[in-house]
Structure 1
């Protein structure tokens, strides 16, 4: 018997999606596209950029369908994914702006692109080092949030703590990293996405 996609629950759609059911993916797209587009547009104030972000989120959803872990709702999962895509994009733009400013101040002969690559690599190495120096719980929460892209609620449930505790650990980690590395949170977010 063919499933009724429009009346399927999130859990049913996810199960079908894991089995490469294109109709389940289409239903998820139909059901959530408007909601997450509005979220992206409200943050970016640019229709084309918001549409790109939403497309990237759905492309990622399809690529990760076999290993997809959604503990609450698809709406929460997709909304969180949009927020991370926006942060990553803003971080890349910030780094590009910083690089352009640095390049503008260089002598006429310019700079070797290899040198820029090594600079970014060194910053990433420093960031990784300082993340490892964070207190154990703080480090674990930070990694679950920034590397595995779990929501605060998912982390709280997994670690048996409150969402407020999760937020406090992330805030503490970002404050420590910003102080140790002497550069802003957008650049930290960008380097974490590499």
Structure 2
């Protein structure tokens, strides 16, 4: 075995940051590598929010298209784009769900007008869930609310949010993790009490 072959075999795989730099130089294979590396996680996050295969696939495509478009400004954590991809996926998924709610509301209004109100209880339940999520987020501390806004809505990385808020990266990561856990706990508690 040649020395160059041994070096290649023992070299660690390139980070996402390195791959994005290669993309900027026109290397399409680098972007395909990032897609293969993270597409399963992105799809899993999307499907948990939108709960529909077709919508999850759309979110997957939109997320990686956004990564390509914003490749110059993506925030990497330890060389990985995964935190940014997860936040972007959640944002894209929530937007898709809201769009679905609006379409359902328009459809519901049409059905009410024609006196065939099918699925009104589902639409009402979805609106109620959205309102409840807003209430839970409003019940978080001011710092947690800002972190949720910056990381999950505005798609900032932990590092970017930390700089904007004047706190450490670890503070952002830990507070966001606690906020997510509280959201899950509150929603699970309500399901149990129904």
> What TM-score, normalized to structure 2?
0.55
In structure 2, the residue matched to 1:95 is 102
The structure 1 segments of at least 4 consecutive aligned residues displaced by more than 6 Å after TM superposition are: 137-143
Alpha-carbon distance in structure 1 between the residues aligned to 2:74 and 2:30: 16
Alpha-carbon distance in structure 1 between the residues aligned to 2:57 and 2:47: 8
In structure 1, the residue matched to 2:13 is 7
Q: Which structure carries more relative contact order (alpha carbon 8 Å, separation 6+)?
A: 1
> Larger Cα Rg: Structure 1 or Structure 2?
2
TM-fit CA distance, 1:11: 1.9
In structure 2, the residue matched to 1:31 is 37
Alpha-carbon distance in structure 2 between the residues aligned to 1:35 and 1:52: 14
The number of residues matched between the two structures is 138
Does 1:163 pair with 2:160?
A: no
With over 3 angstroms needed to count, the CA separation of the structure-2 counterparts of 1:105 and 1:6, relative to structure 1, is: farther
In structure 2, the residue matched to 1:78 is 85
Unaligned segments of structure 1, at least 5 residues: 109-136, 171-194
Alpha-carbon distance in structure 2 between the residues aligned to 1:103 and 1:64: 39
3-state SS in 2 of match to 1:7: coil
Alpha-carbon distance in structure 2 between the residues aligned to 1:14 and 1:30: 14
Unaligned segments of structure 2, at least 5 residues: 1-7, 116-142, 180-194
In structure 2, the residue matched to 1:41 is 47
